[in-house]
């Protein structure tokens, strides 16, 4: 029986040294941490509200809202770095050891980064697009270019164009979704945080800083991920083209890849039932 899902009843907050982290707590069982993606007006609740009821039949689902996206405290750092740091703060604050993790796009990158740097925190990892390196496709992708255009000059038309790049079926982009995303995306603090990450200048500055610091890119460290990993991908993804999946599939020692047809970047939304079947089979399998 699907667990009841209610936004307000499930919302919690946790005070940490990096500010207040807000999260949803749904279900009982082993802890499952759900990490959301990036983009205008995103939230963890939006990413996972359609599947968390089924997941919560088996797990205590903890949907973390990253700093800088309008739900948890904003913070002043780079959104990606704040997201990575928030995972450790959250798990320590909740008194949790190793957890299973599902990460959508940026959330998958965050989960993979934690799996490399702090392997004791990640039991099993599920990623949704995003985690990889383009081998045959152009970079930046169509979706990332549209995201950068919106961030530099946010208009409703640019938001709609970006949302359509996220999906295979245009009908997925409803008026309700547009309004929900628009409201949060243009909130001043949220937009300011997005500009630290998704403008051409921010991309260039981050690349230069990583080079100067001698930081090894995540894609070159996939071999260090010891957690069993399920990589899920939409075959028709125009934000993170599917060729990006080849490197993590090959280099993560215990990885398997599930590609979903007629599906864009949001596999848990556009291919909901197929995605849930694959993910639950993976997470409930005897280790």
Active site residues: 265
Rounded to the nearest 10 degrees, how much is the dihedral formed by the CA atoms of 90, 194, 103, 58?
Answer: 60
Q: Residues, the chain, total? A: 287
Distance CA 30, CA 3 (A): 15
- Sign, CA dihedral 106-111-115-117, equals positive
Describe the strand order of the beta sheet including 255-260 as a list of residue ranges: 11-16, 19-26, 60-64, 31-35, 99-104, 122-128, 229-234, 255-260
Distance CA 122, CA 94 (A): 15
| DSSP-derived 3-state class of residue 231 | strand
Please name the residue that has the structure tokens 């040294």: 17
Report which of 6, 38, 34, 25 is spatially closest to residue 196, judged by C-alpha positions: 38
């Amino acid at each position: 029986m699907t667990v009841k899902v209610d936004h307000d009843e499930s919302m919690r907050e946790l005070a940490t040294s990096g500010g207040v982290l807000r999260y949803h707590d749904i279900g009982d069982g082993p802890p499952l941490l759900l990490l959301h993606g990036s983009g205008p007006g995103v939230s963890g609740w939006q990413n996972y509200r359609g599947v968390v009821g089924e997941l919560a039949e088996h797990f205590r689902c903890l949907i973390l809202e990253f700093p800088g996206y309008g739900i948890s405290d904003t913070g002043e750092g780079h959104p990606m770095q704040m997201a990575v740091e928030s995972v450790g703060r959250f798990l320590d604050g909740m008194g949790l050891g190793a957890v299973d993790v599902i990460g959508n796009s940026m959330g998958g990158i965050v989960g993979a980064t934690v799996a490399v740097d702090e392997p004791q925190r990640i039991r099993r990892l599920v990623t949704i697009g995003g985690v990889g390196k383009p081998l045959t496709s152009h970079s930046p992708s169509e979706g990332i270019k549209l995201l950068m255009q919106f961030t530099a000059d946010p208009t409703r038309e640019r938001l709609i164009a970006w949302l359509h790049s996220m999906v295979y079926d245009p009908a997925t982009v409803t008026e309700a979704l547009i309004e929900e995303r628009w409201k949060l995306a243009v909130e001043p603090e949220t937009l300011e945080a997005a500009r630290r990450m998704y403008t051409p200048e921010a991309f260039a500055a981050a690349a230069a800083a990583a080079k100067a610091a001698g930081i090894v890119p995540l894609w070159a460290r996939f071999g260090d991920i010891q957690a069993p990993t399920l990589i899920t991908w939409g075959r028709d993804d125009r934000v993170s083209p599917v060729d990006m999946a080849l490197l993590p599939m090959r280099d993560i020692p215990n990885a398997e890849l599930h590609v979903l047809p007629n599906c864009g970047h949001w596999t848990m939304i556009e291919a909901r039932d197929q995605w849930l079947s694959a993910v639950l089979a993976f997470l409930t399998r005897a280790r």
